Chains A and B, each alone.
Chain A
Amino acid sequence: MNVEDLPDPEVIALSVLHQGEQYKPPIDTTRLAGLWPGLRISYDDLERPGYLVDLGVLGAEIIVRAADSPVRQRFTVAHELGHWVLSREVATEGHRVFDCSSKRMEQWCDRFAASLLMPRPWVEKGLRRRRMSGLIDALVVEPSTYGVSHDAFRFRVAELTAISIYELESKNGSTDVAHRYESRGLTGNSRSQALSEVWNAISECPIGGRRHHPTLQLMSQYKMVVHDRARSVWLVCVGPSKTSPAEASPDLQRATPMQPRWRSG
Chain B
Amino acid sequence: MSQLEDATARLKHYFSKVSDEQFSRDILTHAPDLIESRQLQNTGELQEVKMNQLMLFNPQSSPLPLDAYLACALTGLSHEQRQLISLVSDTISLVCTDVGINLYEPRKNTDPAYNPDISASDVFKLDRDRVLSSDLVIHLCHYPSTGSGEELDFAYNALVPIILVTHGDSRISRMVSGIPSFKVQLNYTEPEELRPNLKDTLLAVRPILEERKMAFASYDTNMIGQRIRQRREELVLSREEIASRVPLLTAESLRHIEESTDRVSNPSLIRLRQIAAVLRTTVADLVEPDLGEHSVRLLEDWLEGRSAARHGMSPDDRNRVIRRILYRVMDSLEERPE
Interface residues of A in 45-89 (CB under 8 A from B): 45-48, 51-55, 58-59, 61, 63, 83, 87
Is A151 at the interface (CB under 8 A from chain B)? no
Is B321 at the interface (CB under 8 A from chain A)? yes
A54–B309 Cα distance when bound, in Å, is: 11
Indicate the member of A52, A53, A59 with the most B CB atoms within 10 Å: A53
Question: Which single member of A45, A46, A53, A105 contacts B306 (CB below 8 Å)?
Answer: A53
Do A54 and B328 touch (CB < 8 A)?
A: no
Do B329 and A63 touch (CB < 8 A)?
A: no
Q: What is the interface residue range for chain A against chain B?
A: 20 to 34
Interface size of B by CB at 8 A reads: 19
Is A102 at the interface (CB under 8 A from chain B)? yes
Question: Which single member of A44, A45, A61, A102 contacts B310 (CB below 8 Å)?
Answer: A102
Do B329 and A58 touch (CB < 8 A)?
A: yes
Do B325 and A61 touch (CB < 8 A)?
A: yes
A126–B327 Cα distance when bound, in Å, is: 43
Do A46 and B329 touch (CB < 8 A)?
A: no
Is B170 at the interface (CB under 8 A from chain A)? no
A119–B45 Cα distance when bound, in Å, is: 86
Interface residues of B in 178-210 (CB under 8 A from A): none
Is A42 at the interface (CB under 8 A from chain B)? yes
Do B324 and A42 touch (CB < 8 A)?
A: yes
A145–B324 Cα distance when bound, in Å, is: 32
Do B320 and A102 touch (CB < 8 A)?
A: no
Asked whether A63 and B328 contact (CB < 8 A) given A53-B306, A53-B308, A102-B311, the answer is no
- Give the secondary structure class of B's interface: helix
Is B223 at the interface (CB under 8 A from chain A)? no
Do A58 and B324 touch (CB < 8 A)?
A: no
A234–B304 Cα distance when bound, in Å, is: 47
Do B316 and A47 touch (CB < 8 A)?
A: yes
Indicate the member of B307, B325, B332 with the most A CB atoms within 10 Å: B307
A54 to chain B, nearest CB (A): 6
Is B66 at the interface (CB under 8 A from chain A)? no
Interface residues of B in 287-338 (CB under 8 A from A): 303, 306-308, 310-311, 313-314, 316-317, 320-321, 323-325, 327-329, 332
Across-interface contacts of A53 in B (CB, < 8 A): 303, 306, 308, 321, 324-325
Asked whether A54 and B332 contact (CB < 8 A) given A46-B320, A47-B317, A61-B324, the answer is no
A258–B22 Cα distance when bound, in Å, is: 98
Do A44 and B320 touch (CB < 8 A)?
A: yes
Across-interface contacts of B308 in A (CB, < 8 A): 51-54
A105–B321 Cα distance when bound, in Å, is: 21
A59 to chain B, nearest CB (A): 8
Asked whether A55 and B325 contact (CB < 8 A) given A44-B320, A46-B320, A63-B320, the answer is yes
A40–B328 Cα distance when bound, in Å, is: 10
Do B306 and A54 touch (CB < 8 A)?
A: yes
Question: Which single member of B307, B311, B320, B323 contacts A54 (CB below 8 Å)?
Answer: B307
Across-interface contacts of A63 in B (CB, < 8 A): 320-321, 324
Interface residues of B (CB under 8 A from A): 303, 306-308, 310-311, 313-314, 316-317, 320-321, 323-325, 327-329, 332
Write 19 A-B pairs (CB below 8 A) sorted by A numbering.
A42-B324, A44-B320, A44-B323, A46-B316, A46-B317, A47-B314, A47-B317, A48-B311, A52-B307, A52-B308, A53-B324, A54-B306, A54-B307, A55-B328, A61-B324, A61-B328, A63-B320, A83-B307, A106-B311
